[in-house]
Amino acid sequence: MRSLYRLFLTVALLLPMFATGISAQDEEGWKASEKTVQELSKPGNTFNYYEAKVPSYILPQLLVTSAGKKVGDMNIWNESRRPEILELFRKNVFGRVPETSFEKSFKVISTDKKALNGAATLKLIDINISSDEKALVIHLTLFTPNKAGKPAPVFLLIDNRGPANTDPSRKVKSEFWPVEEAIARGYGMAVFSNADVDPDNFDGFKNGIHALLDKKPRTGDSWGALAAWGWGASRCLDYLITDKDVAGSKVAVVGHSRGGKAALWAGAEDQRFAMVVSNESGCGGAALARRQYGETIERISTSFPHWFCSNYRSYGNNEDAMPVDMHMLLALTAPRALYVDCAAEDLWGDPRGSYLSLYSAVPAFNLSGTNCTIPENMPPLNKQIIGGKVGFHIRDGGHNMLLSDWNRFMDFADIALK
Ligand code: GTR
């Protein structure tokens, strides 16, 4: 019995390590990863799933500057506290984008004005990035609604699953990226694959954008894959704001799970994103690290050493030493719109800790004068709450991004973005 239990533990612990070796483009890869999350969400493994076992903790103060000054309005937030927090996340969590210069050009490869039986225009765009002799291409797919007759708000998805979920021909449809439904509601849909920017495996930072921009030896705050994917989202936005069918001031960046962590960081680094959607981003995303519920820093930074900067590792089993917690990451979206959602069976991603994180970020949003207050207790299953510029729901079911989630993103965007 004991050895069976050990075997279960070993398999559960090793599965994500295999997942790190699988390209994000690989269908089996993301399925294995989602399955792992389901397995790891079951009580019985070494991770904590009991509220009673959550340690007591004190979150770092959100609205006090490092010099001890109270942040009472949006000006102080934007001019001093926000940049301070951003720096802390660069240094301790996601890493810093190198200052290396690069060239960028856009090429619209094809335009189909009668896509989706005439409901949408489909464009395939190559975003070419080069530095010295090296180059890479980010392939951006963009659908915009024809009926609107004016530039449309757009959801840009950082895709961590690959083409089977984001098929531009729409022969294969997936709830993960429900283009038809979004177009019918007047939203454009854009997507790029994270793997175009940086492969999702631990390759010593030799490939993807690292091969182009990492000129200096790596240090504790050198960027990891999540920051690289977020950077890729910004390059897509560089294009989107030039497209006459897109309302450039109304682009939302969306991501699921590891993509959700990257979306939060993209919105933090790039304030041109009008809205951020974090779908089940969990540890290293929306969930409070100090709760040590479900996935922990220790675990994520050993299973996925390429995601974060290496300084982050020092906070494994040492969360209280971290000068930030994830409510501060969520607050970096303020005063723009932020949507966080979770799934009830995705305990690995700590739904309650993600809600508490959002709740603790609200004071930064309230500085804008819009009332963004939400209740202290997490809302019941499948009930959306919207407080001005912030929104949340917890869906029944497991780790995934479904049409029902997207419908709520759009309900929120109808209010917060349009
Ligand atoms: C898991 C990882 C989570 C989450 C997930 C995913 O293995 O532990 O943090 O990011 O992968 O991206 O599906």
Kindly report, residue by residue over 216-231, the tens digit of the pLDDT: 999 999 999 999 999 9
Catalytic residue selected from 193, 257, 278, 360: 257
The H or E element that residue 18 is part of is helix 2-20
257 is catalytic: yes
The pair of three-digit structure tokens given for residue 304, joined into one six-digit string: 């996925």
Q: Please return the burial class of 273, using the count of CB atoms within 10 Å of its CB with bins 0-12, 13-18 and 19+.
A: buried
On whether the CB atoms of residues 193 and 223 are closer than 8 A, the answer is no
Cβ distance 269 to 228 under 8 Å? Answer: no
* Mean of per-residue pLDDT scores for the chain: 93
Cis check: omega of the bond before 335, within 30 degrees of 0: yes
In which band, very low, low, confident or very high, does the pLDDT at 155 lie, cut at 50, 70 and 90?
very high
Q: Is residue 25 predicted with pLDDT exceeding 80?
A: no
Mean pLDDT, to the nearest integer, of 115-128?
Answer: 98
- Residue 34 Cα: closest atom of ligand 1: 13
Q: Pocket of ligand 1, candidates 38, 304, 346: which has the most ligand atoms within 8 Å of its Cβ, to mutate? A: 304
Question: How many Å lie between the centroid of ligand 1 and the Cα of residue 102?
Answer: 31
285 CB less than 6 Å from ligand 1? no
Give me ligand 1 centre to Cα 241, in Å.
31
**30 Cα nearest atom in ligand 1:** 13
Nearest atom within ligand 1 for CA of residue 284: 9
What pTM value is reported for the model?
A: 0.93
Ligand 1 and 300: CB distance under 6 A: yes
- Rg from Cα positions in the chain: 20
Parse the chain into domains and list their residue ranges: 83-416
Asked if residue 24 lies in contact with residue 30, where contact means CB atoms within 8 angstroms, the answer is yes
108 beta partners: 125
DSSP letter assigned to residue 218: P
Determine if ligand 1 sits within 6 Å of the CB of residue 16: yes
- Structure confidence by residue, pLDDT tens digits, 30-53: 788 888 888 888 876 789 999 999
Ligand 1 centroid from CA 258, angstroms: 6
C-alpha of residue 33 to centroid of ligand 1, in Å: 7
Helix, strand, coil % (nearest 5) of the chain? 40, 20, 40
> What does the DSSP 8-state code read for residue 56?
P
| 61 C-alpha to ligand 1 centroid (Å) | 28
Cα(237) to centroid(ligand 1), Å: 25
Backbone angles phi, psi at 330, to 5 degrees: -60, -40
Task: Say whether pLDDT at 148 is over 90.
Answer: no
H or E element that contains 133: none
| Active-site residue identified among 256, 306, 393, 399 | 399
For the record, the structure tokens of 56 come out as 């007591």
Mapped onto helix, strand or coil, the DSSP state of residue 220 is coil
Q: How confident is the model at residue 19 (pLDDT cuts 50, 70, 90)?
A: very low
What does the pLDDT read at residue 213?
A: 98
CB atoms within 10 A of CB 21: 12
258 CB near ligand 1 (under 6 Å): yes
User: 27 pLDDT band (50/70/90 cuts)?
Assistant: low
CATH superfamily name and code, 83-416 = Alpha/Beta hydrolase fold, catalytic domain (3.40.50.1820)
What are the two backbone dihedrals, phi and then psi, of residue 304, each rounded to the nearest 5 degrees?
-130, 65
Q: Given a cut of 90, is residue 87 above it in pLDDT?
A: yes
Going by pLDDT thresholds of 50, 70 and 90, the confidence category of residue 26 is low
pLDDT above 70 covers a percentage of the chain that reads 93
> Which residues have CB under 8 Å from 220's CB, separation 6+?
91, 309, 310, 311
Give per-residue pLDDT as tens, 380-417: 999 999 999 999 999 999 999 999 999 999 999 999 99
Which of the four pLDDT bands, split at 50, 70 and 90, describes residue 162? confident
Reported residue count of the chain is 418
Tell me the best of 348, 350, 399 to mutate to test the pocket of ligand 1, counting ligand atoms within 8 Å of each CB and taking the most.
Answer: 348
Q: 343 has which bridge partners?
A: 395
Give the ligand 1 atom nearest the CA of 259: 12
Residue 295 CA: nearest ligand 1 atom is 8
